[in-house]
Amino acid sequence: MPLDRLTPVLQQAVEDLEAQGRRKGHEPVVTEVVPAQGERGPRYRLLGHGEKLFIRMNSNSYLGLAQHPALKKAEEEAIERFGVGPGAVRFISGTYEPHVELEGRLARFHAREAAMIFSSAYATILSVVVPLVTPETVLISDELNHNCIINAIRLARPREKYVYKHLNLADLEAALHQAAAMGARRALVITDGIFSMRGSHAPLSEIALLVRKYDHHFPENALLVVDDSHGVGAFGATGRGTEEYTQAQADILVGTLGKAFGVNGGYVVGPSALIAYFRETSPMYIYSNPITPGEAAAAGAALELLESPEGQTRLAHLRAMTRRFREGVLQLGYESFPGDHPVVPLVLRDGERTGQLVRFLREEGILATAIVYPVVPKGEESIRFQVSAEHTQADIDQVLRVLERFKALG
């Protein structure tokens, strides 16, 4: 048997994760989405739980668009015209009209010259960072950046990399100073727009000023690269993300279609020359299928909806429900990180206690996810609650009552 000696090693690794409280465990299987009714928002049925209904507080679907009729109609019409899949990578068999239309809409939405879509935001950041790194490039990254950025840096093999303390501008400037002193030709400062485990945002205006301050030291520029996958669609006055919230603009902006927009895929926007370069050099664009034409059409419909009065109403409701939940959590005596984003962590700083609360919530019909090491540093164990525009005031209050009961149990 080819795996006879490897299998016990792998089994032991999983058992070790279980013993350390780090195993993610079995994924719940959604069997039905029950539409909103009366004062309550949508509910979800799970495999193995019969007719029990759950409130979902662990979804990135911040605008609650996955079930929106306009998105479903757009996808269905595109499927009728183009079929269910692209069939191959774009440079081999061509692209589809919905892909091109979506890229144009994304560029306009972000006030950029051009845009380019990928199969996911993870694939996007890998395919943006790696082609931009030469043996004379320095990478500078926030210590709490997402795993996709960490792995992109590993794959890129820069001349040097610096990891600055989370949101510490003095530490960032020290890294830029060192990079300039070593004579590197190019520097990339990379940060998340929204740090998804905390719901906090990067101070992009201050970071951009530092990058501009040191730009003249690098013959091929210092660039600010921002992954705003959790920000776009859910943050800022009109949903344009952390850039809008901080009144700043990145040199290269990465976003996703799979969170607030409710569909699937990732994208990058920037100058047309940069996008043309990525089309020739980005590995996960050249060698991997794009999202389907139906998904592209649905994403285009999501962008159109966000820019409509209905979209702005959804954003306003999302902000109101986020404030209600965050204030309620704090009033109950729980700890959370400050912020205005719909990610609201309930910080327990204890893995066992975190697991107890997650189980208690599920028994009460609430889906929430424990976030433990190594996803977050030890001592920051938490439950990441994610508010959505599909939540009603009654939903938020129901979750807060359950949290109050758990608190009373000691």
Give 339's contacts (C-beta < 8 A, 6+ positions apart): 198, 199, 200, 201
d(CA 85, CA 108): 26
Q: Is 196 one of the catalytic residues?
A: yes
Q: Is 259 a catalytic residue?
A: yes
Among the listed residues 127, 196, 200, 229, the single catalytic one is: 196
Instruction: Annotate 55-74 with DSSP letters as a single string.
Output: EE-S-S-TT--TT-HHHHHH
DSSP H or E run through 369: strand 369-371
The label of the residue with tokens 């980005």 reads 282
Whole-number Å distance between alpha carbons of 208 and 74: 38
Q: Give residue for tokens 């029950």.
A: 34
Among the listed residues 201, 259, 317, 341, the single catalytic one is 259
Enumerate helices (H) and strands (E) in the chain, giving the number of each: 15, 16
Residue in 230, 317, 341, 391 annotated catalytic: 230
Q: What is the Cα–Cα distance from 100 to 69, expressed in whole angstroms?
A: 23
- Residue 402 contacts by C-beta under 8 Å, 6 or more apart in sequence? 360, 361, 364, 366
282 is catalytic: no
Please say whether the dihedral angle defined by the alpha carbons of residues 194, 395, 22 and 26, taken in this order, is positive or negative: negative
d(C-alpha 137, C-alpha 19), whole Å: 41
Q: Could you tell me where the beta strands, DSSP code E, fall in 106-263?
A: 114-118, 137-142, 160-164, 186-192, 194-195, 200-201, 222-227, 252-256
Residues annotated catalytic, as ranges: 196, 230, 259
